[in-house]
Structures are given as C-alpha cells and as structure tokens.
C-alpha cells in the first residue's frame, strides 16, 4: 500500500464546496478534487439527531499532505467541526498514483 489517500469532506453549500476544492488544488494540497453531489446526512450534533443536505467532496492527495490539506479546509469551512477524513487508496494504476504524488509535491510550488 502506498502513501496515496482520498480525503472526504462535506459542506452545507455548493459555493463553499467549490471554494474548498479550488483552494486545495491550487495550493497543490490535492492533485484533484470532485464535488460529487448533494447527499442526505444523518448525524449526532449537540445531543440530537440531525438531518441535512450536504455536498460531498473527494480529494486525492498523499498522507504527507493531509495536515496541510485539513488546515486549508478548516480555514475555508463554515462548520465548527467539519468532516475531514482520509481513507487509503489501496490500489490504483501506477501512472495515476505517480501523478498524485507528482502534483502534490511541495517542491512544485503553489
């Protein structure tokens, strides 16, 4: 297993989702990012079960860039406790995985 991960974030507004994915890609914190679609979320918040329509963001990066990516998301996100979770990319084509590593290399500049 490599160092590549997919980071998943949800937001309440499409405009905020677009702002986040643009920022993380522009800063080379993610090689690519998608705003998938609205999803229906059910979760605990402040002692109650809540339901909301949210936008799902998927961002491809490396484990080494996770902390900086999470900081960028927090900077732009309106939630007090945003979902920012990473899941490993267990397998992928070698050229795609190399592309993720290359495009998120901090040495490439912003």
Q: What secondary structure letter does DSSP report for 47?
A: T
Q: What secondary structure letter does DSSP report for 3?
A: S
Residue 110: is its pLDDT beyond 60?
A: no
Q: Is 21 exposed, middle or buried (0-12, 13-18, 19+ CB in 10 A)?
A: buried
CB 28 within 8 A of CB 110: yes
- Domains belonging to the chain, first-starting first, are 4-108 (3.30.70.120)
Per-residue model confidence (pLDDT) at position 1: 53
How far, in Å, CA of 32 to CA of 21, rounded? 8
Per-residue model confidence (pLDDT) at position 23: 98
Average pLDDT over all residues of the chain: 95
Closest CA to 101 of 50, 61, 44: 61
Q: What is the pTM of this model?
A: 0.93
The string of pLDDT tens digits covering residues 17-43 is: 999 999 999 999 999 999 998 999 999
């Amino acid at each position: 297993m490599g160092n590549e991960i997919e980071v998943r974030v949800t937001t309440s507004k499409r405009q905020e989702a677009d702002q986040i994915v643009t920022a993380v890609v522009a800063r080379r914190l993610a090689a690519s990012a998608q705003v998938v679609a609205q999803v229906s979320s059910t979760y605990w918040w402040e002692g109650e079960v809540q339901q909301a329509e949210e936008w799902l963001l998927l961002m491809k990066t490396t484990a080494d860039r996770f902390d900086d990516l999470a900081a960028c998301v927090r900077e732009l996100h309106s939630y007090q406790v945003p979902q920012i979770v990473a899941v490993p990319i267990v397998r992928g084509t070698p050229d795609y995985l190399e592309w993720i590593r290359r495009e998120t290399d901090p040495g490439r500049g912003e």
